[in-house]
Structure 1
Amino acid sequence: MTRRVLVVEDDLTIAGSVAARLRAEGFEVSVAHDGPGGVAAARDGRPDLVVLDVMLPGFDGLEVCRRIQADRPVPVLMLTARGDETDLLVGLAVGADDYLTKPFSIRELAARVHALLRRVEKAESARRIAVADLEIDLSERRVHRAGEEAHLTPTEFELLVHLARRPRAVQTRERLLGEVWGWPEGTGTRTVDSHVKALRRKLGGDLIRTVHGVGYALEVPR
């Protein structure tokens, strides 16, 4: 998947150089030259990363950062000509993830962009659980199996996540009740059984294995 980068920079020479290098690195790049244009481009283009100058006409990069982060979280690499520590601190406070002080190396900027996206991808992967053909998105609370979305109740979702974090490991009904429902051990074990039955109905009967007299485990093909 091609990553999209938005460059918001009023200096046409710098903007052109940054855009050309990032395109050469394989990114899809759009450019804006003022504050309002940057906010509109971020809203409409939904970039994966924004390279953002602090000093912009219309309103400055700090306000641009504030507005685009209010719309949706997106990594921001801030550019500043002043090297003013206050600008940098404010930029980080309003949602910037990294910064470069002008003049900077285009090669270094490209390296920072790659590094920042790798960091974001790693954080995103931590919010997902993938076991065989089962995919669980923890941030959006969505579940897919073999590409088909399954609509789970909140408790069904929590139970599935709990089993998926330790695939093949058998977990007792009592432990599941305590950790998913927060109930005292030994009470209401039939509640677990009924929720497992619902998960099997929605995700397939082969997904969760019953260990008779003990509990359940998420089944993973070997």
Structure 2
Amino acid sequence: MNEKKTPVILMVEDNEHVRALNCSVLERAGYRVLTAKSLAETRRILAGKPGISLVVLDILLPDGNGLAFISELRQSTQAPVLLLSSRRDYEDIVNGLTGGADDYMTKPYRIEELLARIVGLLRRREAMCPPAEVARGPLVMDTVAQRGFLFDRDMLLQPREYAILLFLIQNEGRGISAEQLYEAVWKLPAAGNAGAVRTAVSRLRRKLAGSGYTITSGRGSGYCFEKES
């Protein structure tokens, strides 16, 4: 039960300068980056089952074609694939996207666009495949069993306490009004029901004691899940 994992990006690019630049920028953006300059290197990396979050794959590589490699890649990972190519051939784009790639960029490109596309692909993947566990320090939310654990002990959360806490964690650092919480958890109009949220949050604060996290609140700022200062 660990902290939220850093996304791992596999960068397959034979141009040394481009590979180094992309790697540097992505690492500064908070990603862990594995690099390969050929399909052979890519196969060796994938054989180690490194838990790839996303693959950035150049089409033209010294030992093969990235387009043709996608079907083989899919045997090792279902991570999103972003294709890169200096060719602006419409047929390549169509073949790539219908052949298993999730996005396509033509060279030259701005590094800001590359980052934006990576963020979008990872966000889409997370929305489609929510993690079985959401962890913050010693606090772990089991999204399958719908239970919360603190230092491996069951927090004995009531269903709505669990739903409120998970919703706040998923919106960590952002203020959520009582009305928003009520509508998200109770699935009913919030009019006049803020008291039920206050009561549930009060119980959650007690159950979070010792976790290093709390639920703050302030007039006009809503409820916010964050680290204790």
Please report the TM-score for the alignment, with normalisation by the length of structure 2.
0.56
Equivalents in 2 of 1:134, 1:120: separation in Å? 19
1:135 aligns with 2:139: no
Equivalents in 2 of 1:46, 1:102: separation in Å? 27
2:106: which partner in 1? 101
Equivalents in 1 of 2:27, 2:122: separation in Å? 15
Decide whether the 8 Å contact of 1:6 with 1:42 is kept in 2.
Answer: no
**What is the CA distance between 1:103 and its match in structure 2?**
0.5
| Counterpart secondary structure, 2:9 | strand
**What is the CA distance between 1:89 and its match in structure 2?**
1.4
Alignment CA distance shift 1:30-1:128 (3 Å): closer
2:92: which partner in 1? 87
Q: Which runs of 5+ in 1 are unaligned?
A: 137-142, 149-163, 168-220
Alignment CA distance shift 1:133-1:23 (3 Å): closer
Decide whether the 8 Å contact of 1:81 with 1:103 is kept in 2.
Answer: yes
List per-residue Cα deviations over 1:166-208 (Å, max 9, x = no partner): x9xxxxxxxxxxxxxxxxxxxxxxxxxxxxxxxxxxxxxxxxx
| Counterpart secondary structure, 1:70 | coil
1:8: which partner in 2? 12
1:71: which partner in 2? 76
**What is the CA distance between 1:68 and its match in structure 2?**
1.3
| Counterpart secondary structure, 1:40 | helix
**What is the CA distance between 1:31 and its match in structure 2?**
0.6
Decide whether the 8 Å contact of 2:52 with 2:77 is kept in 1.
Answer: no
Structure number with larger C-alpha Rg: 1
**What is the CA distance between 1:84 and its match in structure 2?**
1.0
Q: Runs of 4+ in structure 1 displaced over 4 angstroms?
A: 127-130, 143-148
Count of residues paired in the alignment: 145
Equivalents in 1 of 2:120, 2:93: separation in Å? 19
Higher helix share: 1
Please report the TM-score for the alignment, with normalisation by the length of structure 1.
0.58
